[in-house]
Amino acid sequence: MFDIVGIGNAVVDRTVYYDTNKAHSMDIYQQKGRYFSTTSTEYEQLQHLYEYNWSICAGGSVANSIRTLSTLGFNTAFLGKIGLDEEGKFFENSLIDTGVHSFLAKSKIYSTGSCMIFVHEDKERTICGKAGASKTLSEEDIPEEFFNTKALFFELYNLKSCLNLSFELIKKAKQKNCRIFLTLSDSQMIYQLKDSLPGIIPLVDVLFGNEYEFKALEELKIMLPLLCFKTKGAQGSAILKNGIWTDCATLRCKKIINTNGAGDAYAAGVIAGLLRKKNLTECLKFGHNISCQVLGRMEPYLA
């Protein structure tokens, strides 16, 4: 039995340093710390503008957390969908290299998804991406072993692309007494899913997000689970337990290369503590510790 199985977007990250002289620079800057939405044409233009200046690594929000949890010694698996291309092979190898069992489905039509990570001078980042094959995940892609786990970890990015499927998987998992973790991904996704989230959030055991995302839930008056973890950047994090938020100071990170994946690492650390049945204070400390380690790496996960 797996300790935890993740389901999310299988994407390859292309990390670049933000350039004020390139197209869409102001739009990218205004979305610092958030997701920058583009059309397919605009995204292709951005890739062309930065193509000789990026570094490439495997990404995906939940995939990042699952790789880190595997590195921390947990028996993990990841379900997503890739294309029949080099990027797909690269993503699959990243799971194998970190000891994650692959439940990857493969599309013959769509290419593997990708994200561009724009790193600003203060090391904050703006994310822009296209899901590609990830958004075509279907019921036929779900292996029987998927529910042979103690916990499932979902992300809002993938949930938006495969809403009905994700909802059914969560309901079935609850029937099998699986613990459900969800990371909110981006505040824009919350507004786009405002009609569906009131039916999904109550099924979640533990919810992760940042200040913008929890503010969006508050504005929409969506009831929160009993246990939530909110990241607050340099200000640390906060925990919601039984309706009460408590702030928690962060650790001082000795080295920060970029902030991409810091929230995913924090979630992995907290989940590791919860799966090991540590108290909440220990879970928070571990979340901050793992986040600091990833902040000092180019890759958005431990390996």
CATH 3.40.1190.20 at 4-10+59-109+135-295, yes or no: yes
pLDDT of residue 89: 97
pLDDT > 90? residue 2 = yes
Taking only the tens place, the pLDDT of each residue in 44-95 is 888 887 876 778 899 999 999 999 999 999 999 999 999 999 999 999 999 9
CB 12 within 8 A of CB 129: no
Q: What is the pLDDT of residues 107-119, one digit of tens each?
A: 999 999 999 888 8
DSSP state of 237: E
| AA identity, residue 259 | T
What value does the mean pLDDT of the chain take? 91
Chain position carrying tokens 């290299």: 97
Say what the pLDDT of residue 239 is: 95
pTM above 0.85, yes or no: yes
Residue with tokens 């999310």: 8
HSE-CB for 174 with a 13 A CA cutoff? 13
When comparing pLDDT for 2 and 255, which is higher? 2
170-186 mean pLDDT: 94
**Who has greater pLDDT, 254 or 40?**
40
Q: What is the mean pLDDT of residues 176-200?
A: 93
Q: How far is CA 253 from CA 72, 265, 274, in A?
A: 20, 14, 23
- The sign of the dihedral angle between the CA atoms of 192, 198, 200, 202 is positive
pLDDT band of residue 148 (cuts 50, 70, 90) is: very high
Residue 117 β-bridge partners: 15, 127
pLDDT on residue 165: 93
* Mean pLDDT, residues 242-257: 81
Residues 146-155 have a mean pLDDT of 96
pLDDT over threshold 90, residue 98: yes
Q: What is the mean pLDDT of residues 256-267?
A: 86
Q: Is the dihedral of CA 88, 93, 98, 101 positive or negative?
A: positive
237 forms beta bridges with 231, 248
- Average pLDDT score over residue span 122-141: 90
pLDDT at 229 over 70: yes
Is 248 within 8 Å of 289 (Cβ atoms)? no
Model confidence at 32, in pLDDT bands (50, 70, 90)?
Answer: confident
Evaluate if residue 149 carries a pLDDT over 90.
Answer: yes
Q: Where are the domains of the chain?
A: 4-10+59-109+135-295
Rounded-to-integer distance, Cα 1 and Cα 280, Å: 25
- Which of 197, 214, 128, 142 shows the shortest CA–CA distance to 173? 142
Question: What is the pLDDT at residue 222?
Answer: 95
The DSSP output letter for 146 is: G
Q: Is the pLDDT of residue 27 over 90?
A: no
Inter-residue contact 100 to 2 (CB < 8 Å): no
Confidence of residue 251 (pLDDT cuts 50, 70, 90): low
Q: Rounded to an integer, what is the distance from CA 248 to the centroid of its chain?
A: 22
pLDDT at 248: 86
Residues 6+ apart with CB under 8 A from 12: 56, 57, 58, 59, 87, 90, 91, 112, 113, 114, 115
Mean of pLDDT values over 210-228: 95
Structure tokens at 183: 């990371």
CA–CA distance, 282 with 284 (Å, rounded to integer): 5
What's the mean pLDDT in 120-127? 82
- Across 98-113, average pLDDT: 97
Lookup: tokens for 253:
């990170």
